[in-house]
Structure 1
Amino acid sequence: MTVNDDSFTNWKTREEIAESMIPLIGKLHRERDVTVLLHSRSLVNKSVVSILKTHRFARQIAGAELSVTETMPFLKALTALDLGPSQIDLGMLATMHKADERGLSVEQFTAEAVAGATGADKIERREPRDVVLYGFGRIGRLVARLLIEKAGSGNGLRLRAIVVRGGGAQDIVKRASLLRRDSIHGQFQGTITVDEDSSTIVANGNEIKVIYADDPSHVDYTEYGIRDAILIDNTGKWRDREGLSTHLRPGIEKVVLTAPGKGDVPNIVHGVNHDTIKPDEQILSCASCTTNAIVPPLKAMDDEYGVLRGHVETVHSFTNDQNLLDNYHKSERRGRSAPLNMVITETGAASAVAKALPDLKAKISGSSIRVPVPDVSIAILNLQLARETTREEVHDYLREVSLTSPLKRQIDFTTAPDAVSSDFIGSRHASIVDAGALKVDGDNAILYLWYDNEFGYSCQVVRVVQHVSGVEYPTYPATAV
């Protein structure tokens, strides 16, 4: 047998194991509301090849691929436990078990590592929480995809309605088509049907009412059987407390804005300050995509090194508020053709840092350039630190933060030497540290942070909604058993 034959046989064996993992992962998700992760990446509803590629990601962690032969025993051990709603990371289980010197079996170690999700300690499954989308643009449709994806267990969040302005003929059909196919993010994973008579979109069995209204005050959500819902405003039309309060109609309990809030509206970056949300707070903002990209790594750097001052320059993909061709625009430069030009513009991300990180004393300035790509941006974070360090130290620190810290869902890390923007379409992290571009000179550090300003931001929005709705389940194992 040749080396190539050996490699092929090994691949087929791993394919077979990955294939056998799918029903176990699905059953844990459907029956127990358990999301199986691999180094913070969900394995739920993933194909055989996707599962194998996710295992291969471990090369960035230990320099070697994590094999399904290593993680499968831990998955089998999980199926034998009385688990409650939770997120369980197979990659962390395998890594920590390998480092553990007590000689515990896989079954013993797994039971100990996830003890908080079993028996009397486990969280009880909650009734679904109603969610309403106000607006159905780029962010609205991606949030809809995520909510539908996460409804697989029948618990958690349930998208009940979408509110849009009245359109012309076949309005609902066209909106469903935009949900079904996306030029950047690809096909919707599942099936979508439309009932025009009842103004309903059915996506993977989820019945979503399409409500036509020109103003929030025109809607009584209880007429549609909606109760205590969280409304996500992705129009950006109202940004202060007075304007957003108009959404607090019958059936709506809380309002979440997918744009920077003004005045006393809390700006929340999940992973950084989501635990400051007061239980009785009815109105909050998820800040901007750029704020979500820079605040987690900024916090990480301040925690370890201290930050005295900084500047962020964002090279941002163009958006719908720019013109396709030169035309009138209330902003001078944004009226120039978006797909043909680099456009200097402003960003509120730097000033928004103070709301998300009030303890940060450093002054952070910022500016932005819109460039002719449709998605994925990069933030260049130039920091003066409170102490000198080395590139190797910062590199290893940020890699560890991306793997084991409370910010691991927000910060990703790539060592790919040829990484470019399109590689990060569909990333679920708020930002991705480009290790190859990192620069450190004494007390100066320059971080290059990729971010999918559409999908990664939408994931952050859903995390905030999960938190305020009480369906943000704990992750196991902790960094130490």
Structure 2
Amino acid sequence: MTVNDDSFTNWKIREEIAESMIPLIGKLHRERDVTVLLHSRSLVNKSVVSILKTHRFARQIAGAELSVTETMPFLEALASLDLGPSQIDLGMLATTYQADERGLSVAEFTAEAVAGATGANKIERREPRDVVLYGFGRIGRLVARLLIEKSGSGNGLMLRAIVVRGGGAQDIVKRASLLRRDSIHGQFQGTITVDEDSSTIVANGNAIKVIYADDPSAVDYTEYGIRDAILIDNTGKWRDREGLSKHLRPGIEKVVLTAPGKGDVPNIVHGVNHDTIKPDEQILSCASCTTNAIVPPLKAMDDEYGVLRGHVETVHSFTNDQNLLDNYHKSERRGRSAPLNMVITETGAASAVAKALPDLKAKISGSSIRVPVPDVSIAILNLQLAREATREEVHDYLREVSLTSPLKRQIDFITAPDAVSSDFIGSRHASIVDAGALKVDGDNAILYLWYDNEFGYSCQVVRVVQHVSGVEYPTYPATAV
């Protein structure tokens, strides 16, 4: 048998195993509200090829490829347990099992590793929490996709309504079309139908009422059967407590802003300071996409090395607040054609660090350049450390952070030498460390951090909403602290 024959036979075997994983993953998700992950990447509703590619991607962060032959026994062991709502990482199970020297079987080790989600320890499944989107632009539609995707188990978050200004004839049809097809993020994964008479979009069985209103004060959400909902404001029109309080209408309990908050509005970066949200806090912000990209790695570096000062330069994709062609704009440079120019502009991300990391004493400055790409940005974080380090040391530390730390859902790590911006479209992490570009010289470290400023940020928004809703389920095996 030739090498080619061996490779193809191996592929077919792994393909068959991946096929047999799909019903197990689906049943755990639908019946027990368990999300199966592989190094923080969900395997729910994934195709055979996607499952195999996710296993192969492990080599980029863990240093070696994982095979479905290694993870399948753990999935089978999970399927036999009395599991409650949770997230379970097959990659972490396989990795920690290999390092365990007690001679336990896979079934014994798995039962021990996820004991917190079984039997008397398991969390009870919660009733769905209503969610309303105020605004339906780039972030609003991506958050909608995520909410619909995560409603598959029938628990957790349920998107009940979208509030927009009326746009004329066939408004709802056009909005549904924008949800169905996206030039950057591709096709919606599922089916979408429109009932114009009832002003409803039905996406994967989720009936989403489209409410037309020019002002928050015009809506009584209880009229639509909405109770104790979390409203996500995607417009950015109001950023202070007074303005955002307008959303606290009948049926709405909390308001989450997808832009930096002003004044005393808490700016939350999930993974860093989400545990500081007070239970009675009704208004909060998810900060900006760039703040979410730089704060987790900045915290990781400060925890290990100490940071004395830093500067962040963001090379950011253009956004809807810029002009396609030269035209008037209230900002000095943003009026120039976005697809044709690099545009120097300001960023508030550096100053926002203080809100998310109040214990960080280092002064962080920042600037930004908008460039002619429609999505994915890169932040260049230049840090003076409190002690000297080597490139190898920082490289290994950040890789470990991405795999086992409490920040593993925020920080990803890639070693591909030929990676470019479009490779990170659809990334669910807030920030991806480019290992090949990392520079360390004594007490100076320069981190190159890719981020999908649309989708990665939207994932962070949904994580915050899950947290304040009480449906952010624990992950097993337990993360190292």
Do both share a fold (TM > 0.5)?
yes
CA distance in 2, matches of 1:263, 1:99: 48
CA distance in 1, matches of 2:480, 2:407: 16
Matched residue, 2:221: 221
Matched residue, 2:87: 87
CA distance in 2, matches of 1:6, 1:400: 33
Residue 57 of structure 1 aligns to a residue in which SS?
helix
CA distance in 2, matches of 1:58, 1:158: 32
In structure 1, runs of 5+ residues without a counterpart are: none
The structural deviation recorded for 1:478 is 1.4
Shift in CA distance, 197/116, structure 1 to aligned 2, threshold 3 Å: same
Contact 2:292 2:457 in 1 (8 A): yes
CA distance in 2, matches of 1:360, 1:479: 23
Deviation digits for residues 378-433 of structure 1 (CA, Å, limit 9, x no counterpart): 00000000000000000000000000000000000000000000000000000000
RMSD: 0.8
Shift in CA distance, 390/339, structure 1 to aligned 2, threshold 3 Å: same
Matched residue, 2:465: 465
CA distance in 2, matches of 1:61, 1:369: 29
Contact 2:61 2:413 in 1 (8 A): no
The structural deviation recorded for 1:332 is 1.2
CA distance in 2, matches of 1:250, 1:468: 19
The structural deviation recorded for 1:480 is 6.3
CA distance in 2, matches of 1:406, 1:332: 41
CA distance in 2, matches of 1:64, 1:145: 32
In structure 2, runs of 5+ residues without a counterpart are: none
Residue 301 of structure 2 aligns to a residue in which SS?
helix
Matched residue, 1:140: 140
CA distance in 2, matches of 1:62, 1:187: 31
The structural deviation recorded for 1:58 is 1.7
Deviation digits for residues 260-290 of structure 1 (CA, Å, limit 9, x no counterpart): 0000000000000000000000000000000
Matched residue, 1:283: 283
Instruction: Please give the TM-score of this superposition, normalised by the length of structure 2.
Output: 0.99
The structural deviation recorded for 1:64 is 2.5
The structural deviation recorded for 1:479 is 4.1
Q: How many residues align?
A: 481
Identity percentage of aligned residues: 96
CA distance in 2, matches of 1:308, 1:457: 27
CA distance in 2, matches of 1:213, 1:313: 39
Instruction: Please give the TM-score of this superposition, normalised by the length of structure 1.
Output: 0.99
CA distance in 1, matches of 2:251, 2:77: 42
The structural deviation recorded for 1:60 is 2.5
Deviation digits for residues 18-65 of structure 1 (CA, Å, limit 9, x no counterpart): 000000000000000000000110000000000000100121244321
Contact 2:61 2:415 in 1 (8 A): no
Contact 2:314 2:380 in 1 (8 A): yes
Superposed, 1:256-267 pairs within 5 Å as 256-267=256-267
CA distance in 1, matches of 2:120, 2:355: 38
Residue 153 of structure 1 aligns to a residue in which SS?
coil
Matched residue, 1:302: 302
Shift in CA distance, 266/480, structure 1 to aligned 2, threshold 3 Å: closer
Matched residue, 1:36: 36
CA distance in 2, matches of 1:20, 1:406: 31
Residue 433 of structure 1 aligns to a residue in which SS?
strand
CA distance in 1, matches of 2:447, 2:3: 41
Residue 370 of structure 1 aligns to a residue in which SS?
strand
CA distance in 1, matches of 2:317, 2:457: 14
Shift in CA distance, 62/247, structure 1 to aligned 2, threshold 3 Å: closer
The structural deviation recorded for 1:454 is 0.0
CA distance in 2, matches of 1:430, 1:310: 19
Residue 50 of structure 1 aligns to a residue in which SS?
helix
Residue 325 of structure 2 aligns to a residue in which SS?
coil
